[in-house]
Structure 1
């Protein structure tokens, strides 16, 4: 590929920050709309686990990032990140991991919040992601661009894993008594307000960072529309913020 062809490819992969920002706004709107729809409840009839329809958006973002991927970590790196992201979704929407970690109460009642099970799962996935990503790089015979490949794999994995945190968005919206963290049954109004404000500030900060990410990006020349993946990165990573904020509201 000649120098002029490389320039042409890079220019075709770039997009204005206005387009990036528009994708982010659209993603947030979809997430909020889905969070407003009453979720699916299962388990204990008195205190059921509730799965929000934002899980659909979480999985969709994982798929979109896999398609419009700006990272240079190869097919194996993409696959590892997708698997980690889907496992995170499972942890966020089921009690499987929580029941394996936290002891049951009297009458085999669950003694944990779904957020706790997810956070524990995220911690384990992040450790595995780093170990596997590092192992991949060490196994390479030609270790050129080792730091770049390692960091790309880790950042992509973190985004995929974090996407599932949006499953808890409905607990931060003061819309239904008994199903949101703002209600007196689940936590104090002060804790809810502080958690929401801090979460919003962090989300705004991550979105602001995407300006520089988009400007300085150097995606794989074979990537198609990688700017879409760059636009989704702060949204997906913000899922971690949402999940932790949700946990804070039910604990305090």
Structure 2
């Protein structure tokens, strides 16, 4: 295993451990659902991705992706409880709806940006890289609701434990897949340590699994 892969896997492990620790140190009630302790960790992951950008999107694509991540962070804050579409005690539903809208807007903005280019070489690659990066930045803030899922689990709900086990299995599977991605990464010529960015992309994308799990296990929570 090369140093690039080791560095990337270490970054994944540190992020997962840090996220769980924050969820335990700053638990949310299942009624509130939003774990404020995770926000600094999520902001850090945006900064790391912005610094060690592994995709060929250009500076504009980087700014767009991080901007959509910030909007997702706002949607994951307690502001989401003010939305009329957010059921009482289930802010992850409001976040999921906002995230869906952000994904549509991201696609429109990314496509419009590519169409506005005079030089459209590698258009498909640039478009796909931009959408992947933006989607990861949006999805990362789904992890904000991990304290709520942990809260249901520690309250004795077996369905929540099953959901956590599935998420852990997905994390391992995506970690194994990222080994190949880190080996084959084709970052831009000015990229610095792109393995960190590649390693964090699957972690960020997996964020959608947390609110999805909360919605799926809701009928079993009583």
Q: TM-score, normalised by structure 2?
A: 0.89
Q: Which residue of 1 aligns with 2:9?
A: 21
* Partner of residue 119 from structure 2, selected from 129, 138, 142: 142
Structure 1 unmatched ranges of 5 or more: 1-13, 42-46, 103-109, 174-179
1-side partners of 2:36 and 2:219: how far apart? 20
- Higher helix proportion, which one? 2
CA-CA distance at 1:115 after TM superposition: 0.5
Q: Which residue of 2 aligns with 1:212?
A: 180
The 5 A counterparts of 1:5-44 are 15-39=3-27
CA RMSD across the alignment: 2.3
Give the SS at the match of 1:144.
coil
Q: Which residue of 2 aligns with 1:76?
A: 60
Number of residue-to-residue matches in the alignment: 219
1:156 aligns with 2:133: yes
1-side partners of 2:161 and 2:181: how far apart? 30
Give the SS at the match of 1:101.
coil
CA-to-aligned-CA distance 1:76-116 (integer Å, 9 cap, x gap): 111111111111111111234752434xxxxxxx6351100
Structure 2 unmatched ranges of 5 or more: none
Q: Is the 8 A contact 1:169 1:246 kept in 2?
A: no
1:55 aligns with 2:39: yes
Q: Is the 8 A contact 1:81 1:153 kept in 2?
A: yes
CA-CA distance at 1:182 after TM superposition: 2.5
Q: Which residue of 2 aligns with 1:65?
A: 49
Distance 1:251 1:113, change over 3 A: farther
Structure possessing the higher radius of gyration over alpha carbons: 1
Distance 1:141 1:27, change over 3 A: same
* Partner of residue 158 from structure 2, selected from 190, 211, 223: 190
Q: Is the 8 A contact 2:57 2:126 kept in 1?
A: yes
2-side partners of 1:19 and 1:112: how far apart? 39
Q: Is the 8 A contact 1:17 1:211 kept in 2?
A: yes
Q: TM-score, normalised by structure 1?
A: 0.79
